[in-house]
Structure 1
Amino acid sequence: MQFNTLIDLLQYRTLNKPEQKTFTFLQDGETETNSLTYQTLEKQAKAIAANLQSLDAKGERVLLLYPPGLELMAGFFGCLYAGAIAIPASIPRPNQPISRLEAIATDAQAKFVLTTTPLLGYLQGRFAENSTLAKMQLLDSNNIIAQNMGVHWQEPTINGDTLAFLQYTSGSTGKPKGVMLSHQNILQNLAMGYEQSATTAESHTVTWLPFSHNTGLVVGMLQPLYGNFPVKIMSPLDFLQKPLRWLTAISRYKATQSLAPNFAYDLVCFQTTPEEREMLDLSSWELAVSGAEPVRAETIDRFASTFAPSGFRRQAFTPGYGMAESVMGISLGLTTEPPVILNIDKSEFTKNQIRVATDESESTQKIVSCGRAGSDEKILIVNPETLTECSSNQVGEIWVSSPSVAQGYWNRPEATVETFQNYLRETNEGPFLRTGDLGFLLNNELFVTGRLKDLIIIRGSNHYPQDIELTVDRSHQALRPSCGAAFSVEVESEEKLVIVQEVQETYLEQLDVEQVVNTIRQAVSQQHQLQVYGILLLKTGTIPKTSSNKIQRHACKAGFLEGSLDVVGKSIYQELDRQEKEKQATLDRKTLLATKPEKRQELLISHLQILISNILQVNPSQLDWEQPLTNMGLDSLTTVELSDILQDSLGTSFKATLIFE
């Protein structure tokens, strides 16, 4: 299917299938309350477009502030039909700061806001609080549609290179950046997704993803329009209140595909009962896409086994990878095969090297493939410092060349060059999009290992925060899954590891903070050979997240440093005071041998405690001396350091590994 613009696409559908009810909204996630045909959608879009044209809005940026439902669709296409640039955004909640919305409006120099009649009064009140937003013109799309202004619509002069919408990134630091997506960027990505997912007119989607973000917009509106198949839409809040609604809708409507982040697949495992699962029939589900956040092997295993009695087939699980800078999708797993999961060597992984292990063991970890590139796309793994292509067993930055790659960032020429216009140093091949994500390619499969800027480097070793977060997830039943963040802070010129983690609501009243933090420290030390400097346990539902439900590690770090997080328990190591630092280990072999035999062990233990405290730079009173040394966060470097000091002071020699035996 060849279309030049999204207007051409909707006009084609309206001409050929005018009465087809493609879009249906499920009130409370269960009851059909509203549907849209292609003809009705275009009629509403033309009415809104005519109104925008009367305001000379061609080329202007228009904020779309709509509640969950179908109404945003007319607002979005109304902008396109007017030649205006749509900006889907989240409605600020009562008592929520409107600084992000102000930043978007300021950056985009937006003049207009499209919304609904019920929201108009609320937004007028909130906008009055802010001098920037107060200048914007609020437009009631319900009232505009009722006036039937579509007869005055004039088709705009646009083409495939015309900007369709700006997707503002939900990054946690700095000002939000507007990704400039043209009509052809979007159509190319839709065509690639159509091919990769083996979509047909018989496909059927269920989605709860918000339209204020590119993934929800593509999955819930643009893909069904492009593929000419029906979609059932529910509010994200209805899903979160009762996750079973998502799978019930898939079962009820015999849906063939649905996309959700990793946490959603965990949520329905944890918050459904065997009796509820018995009522489901998921045998129609052919494409269960997991994307928008790291895909975990244990989630795939858990979901597949939990819902196998409901007819779900593991082969349907299809991890994918994408980002707003390339519309949505970049890679997708093969729909004809189960997910590709590797066991890789942990030690080599910390050195950015990949060595695939044949068997699973304590020295390996699992990593899930995010599929393969599309037919018109090229993915490279590049050393982010030398800008040269990595070998197949090396981790590097993921670079992408594709017709889907956006035009750049709105009004950010320097950021655009830095992100979108990159060339390999040796061959000058390009331009490529620098994703900022780390990964590797193996047998044409893309494995995403983490974010370049989120990488934790402690004592020369690389650690991925999501790996540490997974360890914390598993460590204690009081901790809320997928609601933690790991990051490093600088303490006296040295990077230290910090964990912030939400607690399950049912554990809040009788939370044993000491037990939980000790369990976390032991788990992280055992799995990653890292000492956890600080642990904050947070109240349920308070960890900083983006509006698309991604953990904001940078905001967590800022909250830790500023003391602004909602903490219910904490444990932070105190640094050695000057007196402790000056305490020297004076024990030597002569002194030890001169001590009475029954006192030697006590003296040696005291000596060892002083050495470990000095090496870890932690007050000895905060260390649990009853636990094994393996649980104290001694990595290979500190182990060697401790071994060397002991051997020198005691005038003997032994293997460093003896310390752990």
Structure 2
Amino acid sequence: MATSSWHVTVAGRRGRSPELRNLVDLLRFRAADQPERIAYTFLLDGEAEEAQLSYAELDRRARTLAAELVRRGYAGERALVVFEPGLDYITAFLGSLYAGVVAVPVYPPDPLRAGRTLARLQSIVQDSQARVLLSNHAVLNCAEAVFARVPELETILALEELEPARAAEWEPPEFTSDSLAFLQYTSGSTGAPKGVMVSHGNLLHNLQQLHRLDGPRPVGVAWLPPYHDMGLIGGVLWPLYSGGQIVLMSPLSFAQRPVRWLQAISRYRAQISASPNFGYELCVRKVSEAEKSRLDLGSWSLAINGAEPVRPETLARFADAFACCGFKPSAFYPSYGLAEATLLVTGGAKHRPAVIRGFCPERLERDGLVVPRRPREGGRRIVSCGWPSRDQRVVIVDPRRCIELPQGSVGEIWVSGPSVALGYWNRPAESQAVFEAVLRDTGEGPFLRTGDLGFIYDGQLYVTGRLKDLIIIAGRNYYPQDIERTVEQCHPALKQDGGAAFAVEQDGEERLVLVHEVQRPGKVDLPSLAAAIEQHVLAEHDVRPHAVVLIAAGTLPKTSSGKTQRATCRAQFLAGTLSVLYEWRANAPCPNPNHEPTEPTTPLEARVAEVWRDVLGVPRVGRHESF
């Protein structure tokens, strides 16, 4: 989607800006208009210890890095941006843009999981053809051996080694709204990660849509990884457009103590904060009554829920749990988006309760038709993801015939508009198939094929599942997330968002397989638990599982952004490489099949195995287990 004519103007303290065509123009305007205002606050310990950057200081640091990159001849190249979450990451990302360098954000490799993280790093380096890596001493000291095994990188540049005087040498690069800003590598839920080409125009348009949700000089809080669309655009870049302040913390700080997220909202009187559904669920389970008594969430007016299916039960539980803290249910803002559309595609109505409707599950699964039910009639309850953002169009399409379906039909979600990215880096065939789809009956296009299934009802988008994950048994469609939800509700020992449902072929027919993580399995009767899962799924969905596989907590394959990798899980099931605690099959139960943990070989591995034995409550942990 070409965006060369896209430009914006934004409000400042002294009036509106001139036309802005890229993020460099945007930050330069903010630095001139409100130089001393704090743009970013990073909570080093997740709580009180702060590091801060003003707009003027961020601009100076970005110019310093950009001048050095240009001096070394990297203008127009790609640069890996490899940092732990923090202010250095923001400096390096924006400094790359200041140099006309295409930023490639990447998770820092984990030396303790070098085999796994090195493969992804090498894949991204080879695909992006990046020649320079930007980082800091903290990361380089830990991962130097990993980076040494990537010979394609000719330069590794640490921010601490830059000369501040270089800032004066910087000259603005020449590019348009259609110029490439960064490559957003997908999480790799299937196959090798692909680089989504996001232009400056894509960013400005999507940030403009997000800005319509906030107020003047807003304050936000974010804990999401800054390497992906929701954390990067919805967290790091949003305040640049709005001229506000964002308070950041590491995802690890949130995972260790979810209450830290809510404490930051309370302390800084934030109005905006976002999380996937599991983050809200984690707070419900982990925040104590004593901790709630010290929270004030009355300022939180926009609680964005996206990046994964939004569960109505979670919205109700969170609203009930934190009503005593001043949280208002009308703050919930369910949304739908994806990296290929920069971020936001659709969203609900601000300051209004989320729309949740019941639909006939049989008609959805059997016929792909939408038949609403009254609240007292039950049915499958689905949360609306709202309306398309301005200048965007969403249509529901038959994925095989490529024709638009009437309202009330389930099909693939297609999107067009200025936020749709330019394509996949160096993948022209895939880019044409995904980003240049055309409706065969009308010739309209191009559209982005999202690969997601959904329908439009009363003008609003409802997402039902993922096209590639759809399970078809005996001609009936089953959505894996519905079955996974049924499984996790069977017993408290089953981990929330810790399961995968998929189909395998057996005797020429598709059969259902369920894999789920068990917490502290030593305290659970695993055969009885597997039997309960089988009976619950049969009763709820009218399909009998072929296999129920209970695995150790923390071993379900997931992407770096926390999404379940069903295809990888299926491959591991077929290969017999899951960390199985107990497996039941329709014909014969077989506890712990083919799973004999490999003993640790070093003192460090022995210590790590001992810690995980205590955490998981299992007798043995092998050196090849994945956590």
Relative to the length of structure 2, the TM-score reads: 0.89
* Superposition pairs of residues 9-408 of structure 1, within 5 angstroms: 9-96=26-113, 97=116, 98-128=118-148, 130=149, 132-133=150-151, 135-144=153-162, 146-195=163-212, 197=213, 199-350=214-365, 351-361=367-377, 364-408=379-423
* Number of the residue aligned with 1:512: 525
Distance 2:217 2:77 in 1: 38
Distance of 2:450 and 2:479 partners within structure 1: 17
1:6 to 20, 23, 47: 23
Matches within 5 A, 1:574-613: 574=587
User: Which residue pairs with 2:538 in the alignment?
Assistant: 525
For 2:500, the equivalent position in structure 1 comes to 485
Query: Partners of 1:120 and 1:276 in 2: how far apart?
Result: 37
**Paired residues of 2:126 and 2:152 also in contact (CA < 8 A):** no
Residues in 2 aligned to 1:171 and 1:361: alpha-carbon distance in whole angstroms:
40
Q: Deviations over 1:120-175 (max 9, x none)?
A: 233321122x3x4464421111211x443212222211111110000001132222
2:528 paired with 1:554:
no
SS of the residue corresponding to residue 505 of structure 2 reads: strand
Cα deviation, residue 361, structure 1: 4.2
Partner of 2:139, secondary structure, is: helix
Which residue identity does 2:142 align to in structure 1? Y
Counterpart of 1:3 in structure 2: which amino acid?
L
Cα pair 1:117 1:143 within 8 Å, conserved: no
1:189, 1:327 within 8 Å by CA — same for their partners in 2?
yes
Deviation at 1:531?
0.9
> 1:417 — aligned with what?
432
Contact 2:344 2:389 in 1 (8 A): no
Percentage of matched positions with identical amino acids:
44
Q: 2:552 matched to 1:539?
A: yes
Give secondary structure in 2 for the equivalent of 1:448. Answer: strand
User: How far, CA to CA, are the matches of 1:563 and 1:70 in structure 2?
Assistant: 43
**Residues 402 and 440 of structure 2 are in contact (CA less than 8 Å); yes or no, is this contact kept in structure 1?**
yes
Letter in 2 for 1:19: E
Say if 1:203 and 1:257, in contact at 8 Å, map to a contact too.
yes
Letter in 2 for 1:513: L
The one-letter code sitting in structure 2 at the alignment partner of 1:492 is D
Alpha-carbon deviation of 1:33?
A: 2.2
| Contact kept? 1:47, 1:150, Cα under 8 Å | yes
Structure 2 counterpart of 1:358, one-letter code: R
Counterpart-to-counterpart distance in 2, 1:53 and 1:143: 16
Partner SS state of residue 157, structure 2: strand
Q: Secondary structure at the match of 2:396?
A: strand
Which letter maps to 2:554?
A: G
For residues 525-579 of structure 1, the C-alpha deviation after alignment (integer angstroms, 9 at most, x for no partner) is 01101111111212111211111111111111111111222222221233xxxxx
Give the whole-Å Cα distance in 2 for the aligned partners of 1:120 and 1:174: 28
Q: Is the 8 A contact 1:472 1:520 kept in 2?
A: yes
- Note the alpha carbon deviations across 1:494-526, whole angstroms, 9 max, x for none: 11111111112xx32222111110111111001
Q: Secondary structure at the match of 1:469?
A: helix
1:119 partner letter: V
CA distance in 2, matches of 1:9, 1:381: 35
Are the equivalent residues in 2 in contact too, given 1:105–1:133 (CA < 8 A)? no
CA distance, structure 2, for counterparts of residue 315 and residue 171 of structure 1: 34
Quote the Cα distance in structure 1 between the aligned partners of 2:222 and 2:541: 37
Normalised TM-score (structure 1): 0.84
Amino acid at match of 2:523: Q
8 Å contact 2:551–2:582 — kept in the other structure? Answer: yes
Given that residues 127 and 134 in structure 1 are in contact (C-alpha distance below 8 angstroms), is that contact kept between their aligned partners in structure 2? no
Note the C-alpha offset of 1:359.
Answer: 2.9
With over 3 angstroms needed to count, the CA separation of the structure-2 counterparts of 1:253 and 1:271, relative to structure 1, is: same
Q: 1:409 to 1:31 in 2, by over 3 A?
A: same
Note the C-alpha offset of 1:211.
1.0
| Mapped contact 2:75–2:99 kept (Cα < 8 A) | yes
Cα contact 2:499–2:517 (8 A) shared by 1:
yes
Over 3 Å counting, the alpha-carbon distance change for 1:393 and 1:373 in structure 2 is same
What residue ranges of structure 2 are gaps of 5+ in the alignment?
1-8, 10-18, 591-627
1:165-216, Cα deviation, whole Å (9 max, x unpaired): 0000113222211000110110000011212x2x122421011011111211
Q: Work out the CA distance in 2 between the residues paired with 1:399 and 1:443.
A: 18
How many angstroms apart in 2 are the aligned matches of 1:528 and 1:325?
A: 33
Distance 1:388 1:408, change over 3 A: same
* 1:343–1:360 Cα contact (<8 Å) kept: no
Q: What secondary structure sits across from 1:18 in the alignment?
A: coil
Cα distance, 1:338 vs structure 2 = 0.5
Query: What's the CA shift string for 1:307-362, capped at 9, x where partnerless?
Result: 11111111111100100001111011101311110100011010211100013446
Q: Which amino acid aligns with 2:556?
A: I
Distance 1:360 1:501 in 2: 31
Match of residue 578 from structure 2? 565
Instruction: Indicate yes or no: 2:458 matched with 1:440.
Output: no
| Separation in 1, partners of 2:310, 2:296 | 24
1:523 counterpart letter in structure 2: H
- Kept in 2, the 8 Å contact 1:46–1:150? The answer is yes
Contact kept, 8 Å, 2:111 with 2:142, in 1: the verdict is no
Q: Which amino acid counterpart does residue 139 of structure 1 have in structure 2?
A: L
| 1:427-466 equivalences in 2 (<5 Å) | 427-466=442-481
Larger radius of gyration between Structure 1 and Structure 2? 1
Which 10-residue stretch deviates more, 556-565 or 179-188? 556-565
562-571 vs 133-142, which deviates more? 133-142
Deviations 1:221-257 (A, max 9, x none): 2101100111110000000000011111111111111
Distance 1:186 1:288 in 2: 22
Q: Which residue of 1 aligns with 2:614?
A: none
Instruction: Tell me how far apart the structure 2 counterparts of residues 246 and 33 of structure 1 sit (CA, whole Å).
Output: 15
What SS does structure 2 have at the residue aligned with 1:489?
A: strand
Give the Cα–Cα distance (whole angstroms) in 2 for the partners of residues 19 and 361 of structure 1: 57
For residues 8-54 of structure 1, the C-alpha deviation after alignment (integer angstroms, 9 at most, x for no partner) is: 00010011101111200012210242100111111111111111111
RMSD over aligned CA atoms reads 1.4
The answer to whether the 8 Å contact 1:60/1:84 transfers is yes
